Amino acid sequence: MRSKETGLAMLTCSRSGSRCGAFRFANSLSNKPKFAHDCEPFFGAPCSKKRVISHRNPSRMGCGAPRTCREGTVNGGHMKRILLILALVISGATISPVVPAVHAETLAGQTPIAILVNGRGFGHGRGMSQYGALGWATKFNKTWQEILDFYYGGTTLSQLTETDAGLSPGGKITIRLTTLDGRQTAALSDNSSLMLANDTVPGRKWAALVARELPGTVAQYRIWGSTVPKCPVAAKTPEESGFVLVTDVATSAVFSTTLSDDPTTAVVPNDMIGLCEPSGSVRYYRGTIAAVNGTDGENRTVNTLRVDEYLRGVVPRESPASWGDAANGAGMNALRAQAVAARSYALSSNGYSYAKLCDTQDCQVYGGAALRDKVDGKLTVLEDLRTNAAITDTSGFVMRDATGKVVRTEFTSSNGGRTAGTTFPVRIDDGDVAADAAELQWTNVISKSAIEKKYPEIGVLVSVVTTHDGLGGDWNGYATSVAINGTAGTKTLTGWEFRSVFSLRAPWYETTPIYGAAVDAPVVGSMLFIGDSVGESIRTEFESLVLPAYPSTNIQVATGRCMVGSACLGQPDGLSIINSIPAEQTPAIALIELGYNDMSLSYATEIDQVVAALSARGVQRIIFVNMSTRRQTADYGTMNAMLANAAVAYPNVSVLDWNSYSADTAKWRWYVKDDNVHLTATGQTEFALFLRAQLDALRNQGRRR
């Protein structure tokens, strides 16, 4: 006979003679706890001198009567055991974490509830890894020449010559400024030295100029000027913004300042051209700015400047200038390699009829020289002395193929430990691994519903099968194709297409099905999940991974929520949520992820209040999730000890040890850097997997009884 509203836990301990001891499980690779403490009449030695710890004060210890296991009682009330939970803790210890199961086993008659994606790297993986360059420079002491040779096999490093003049006429390059696509071109000068080429009054200087294409014309521009540095409102006429008519020009409107095209004496930002962006910010550029028409007559804004001046706005946007300080300056070789790769990439590009390349990651990121958040706002200089030095040190150097042609030297953030190949030979990349980038390894989950919504022609999702390139590394390489199989058909994508459609970090990944509960899994009652911003951040993952297996779950998560506290940002607090539950909606299980916003001085009392409130409503099993102690400035370790001791004091309380499970050094990437509480996208998936595996492990105790 099954109870409709039983919780995960039914094993409790009374205070008569028995043996209490520790279950000893296999190692962490077995998907079971390394150890967990329970009170079983057939494990361990007699515990006549059992220590009792106050959960209010972890340092207080004493001797109490031994506990005897008795099935079927919760808070003194007798129930037939249907489900079983792993009982918790000896002195001050919580349940050891279950290694999250992949749930990959095929369950007869079931279809996946989600697809788990484990991947490596960030970006396409072709050419140089930026983190790899850092790793080779700082961990293996490689020069910039050696780094380039490693990543761009089959090419040669050499200087530009006169025969390359056509790649940058006059030594200059043209850049499409995408923020201003389809918009007016409005510029200003901090020192009122802005000029219009072909002005009817040669040499006339302005503080601001704006060019707009005349309605009904192609490449016919009207120019307005101002003697005050300001940005005209796009929705108004320039006159309404205080500008005066200057002249009309044909083909293009070109702006410059007295020194904007002088690489030696120009000062940032006074001598630069400030461009008014739609957000209200002003971005400063070297060289000249032009309002032009695109291939199809669309409005475009183009920056023309010398190649190495352009690189000053690229290299620190693509590789942090601070890398130059790493390993006593060895990191400069990573910046030098980046400078050569960026120069070769730019000169080998030919993106548009009106510009050589763009300013975004679709080409390579170019930020100009400086930025203000508004016309008179705080200035942020975007160029850096270290990257400027790297550009100077490598000036004129490019990579060439066997025919002498400048090579399109693609680069990527992190390749995960192996390059993608294609244009350049496949390399096992120890430098990338040594750099230990945040996206060296990552995890993502795609829900069944998301796949079926994107490709309704497949019917009900049955499986996702990924094929790899066979060139080595995890899963035998990068994904080359993905077959999405359903009851009504199959949709086949390339590995890159699947990556793009579902916003994965890189094309090196493997897909694994996640299933719901087995048909014969023990019945679990309804569950209440109360959480703070950490719990809120995993809502999507929880709904994809946990909810299908535990469908009667009421999710109550909010940023800033406390266990108890009217002053907390997230209201109502945990206790208020519990007290507001109607009697007919009382859950069998409560899963509580709270504490990051609470104070350690009152936390033990708050635990008591929450346990009392839940127990008074007949909640059978109370499961707390403890806190990561990575944030050294918080007292989460003490608070975790209070949770552990509450599991000793209350027979219906358990604690899931997220702290221990996420403590491994390599798992730093699960946490937001310098925050160490909130989770990255990978951490969110891993936390949801952890909760699912823990709940499954507790539920499956019923199978073994």
SS3 per-residue string spanning 130-159: HHHHHHHHHHCCCCHHHHHHHHCCCCEEEE
* pLDDT of res. 105: 52
Q: Is 183 in contact with 278 (CB distance < 8 Å)?
A: yes
Average pLDDT over residues 334-357: 98
Please give the structure tokens belonging to residue 204. 């006339």
Q: Is 634 in contact with 678 (CB distance < 8 Å)?
A: no
* pLDDT of res. 264: 87
* pLDDT of res. 19: 27
* pLDDT of res. 570: 86
> For the segment 232-279, what is each residue's pLDDT rounded down to a tens digit?
999 999 999 999 999 999 999 999 999 999 988 999 999 999 999 999
Angstrom distances, CA of residue 227 to CA of 242, 299, 351, 371: 9, 25, 36, 21
* pLDDT of res. 702: 63
* pLDDT of res. 580: 95
Please name every residue paired with 371 in a beta bridge, in sequence order, or none if there are none: 283, 380
Domain range annotation of the chain:
114-122+438-514, 156-324+338-344+351-399
Percent of the chain exceeding pLDDT 90 equals: 80
* pLDDT of res. 562: 97
User: What band does 95 get if pLDDT is binned at 50, 70 and 90?
Assistant: low
Angstrom distances, CA of residue 573 to CA of 32, 210, 532: 33, 54, 9
pLDDT at 50 over 70: no
* pLDDT of res. 8: 45
User: What band does 342 get if pLDDT is binned at 50, 70 and 90?
Assistant: very high
> For the segment 132-183, what is each residue's pLDDT rounded down to a tens digit?
999 999 999 999 999 999 999 999 999 999 999 999 999 999 999 999 999 9
E-strand ranges in 178-231 read: 185-188, 194-196, 208-213, 220-226
User: What band does 29 get if pLDDT is binned at 50, 70 and 90?
Assistant: very low
Say if residue 33 is preceded by a cis peptide, omega within 30 of 0.
Answer: no
What is the reported pTM? 0.84
Average pLDDT over residues 318-343: 99
Lowest mean pLDDT segment, chosen from 421-425, 431-435, 523-527, 564-568? 564-568
Please name every residue paired with 299 in a beta bridge, in sequence order, or none if there are none: 293
pLDDT at 538 over 80: yes
Average pLDDT over residues 653-666: 97
Sign for the pseudo-dihedral over CA of 367, 363, 194, 281: negative
Q: Which helix (H) or strand (E) holds 412?
A: strand 411-412
User: What band does 64 get if pLDDT is binned at 50, 70 and 90?
Assistant: very low
* pLDDT of res. 94: 47
pLDDT at 23 over 90: no
Sign for the pseudo-dihedral over CA of 346, 351, 354, 357: negative
> For the segment 474-517, what is each residue's pLDDT rounded down to a tens digit?
999 999 999 999 999 999 999 999 999 999 999 999 999 999 99
User: What band does 700 get if pLDDT is binned at 50, 70 and 90?
Assistant: confident
Average pLDDT over residues 43-63: 33
Distance in angstroms (rounded) separating the CA atoms of residues 619 and 589: 6
Please give the structure tokens belonging to residue 421. 């190949």
Distance in angstroms (rounded) separating the CA atoms of residues 552 and 5: 11
pLDDT at 21 over 70: no
Distance in angstroms (rounded) separating the CA atoms of residues 100 and 28: 10
Mean pLDDT taken over the chain:
87
pLDDT at 594 over 80: yes
Q: Which helix (H) or strand (E) holds 463?
A: strand 461-468
pLDDT at 76 over 50: no
Task: Tell me the range of 33-37, 67-71, 297-301 where mean pLDDT is highest.
Answer: 297-301
Lowest mean pLDDT segment, chosen from 33-47, 375-389, 444-458, 664-678? 33-47
User: What band does 568 get if pLDDT is binned at 50, 70 and 90?
Assistant: confident
> For the segment 112-135, what is each residue's pLDDT rounded down to a tens digit?
999 999 999 999 999 999 999 999
* pLDDT of res. 108: 63
* pLDDT of res. 32: 34
pLDDT at 691 over 60: yes
58 vs 34: which has the higher pLDDT: 58
Per-residue DSSP letters for 345-378?
HHHH----SS-SEESSTTS-----SEEESSTTS-
Distance in angstroms (rounded) separating the CA atoms of residues 170 and 683: 50
3-state secondary structure at position 245: strand
According to the 3-state scheme, what is the secondary structure of 286-306?
Answer: CCEEEEEECCCCCEEEEEEEE
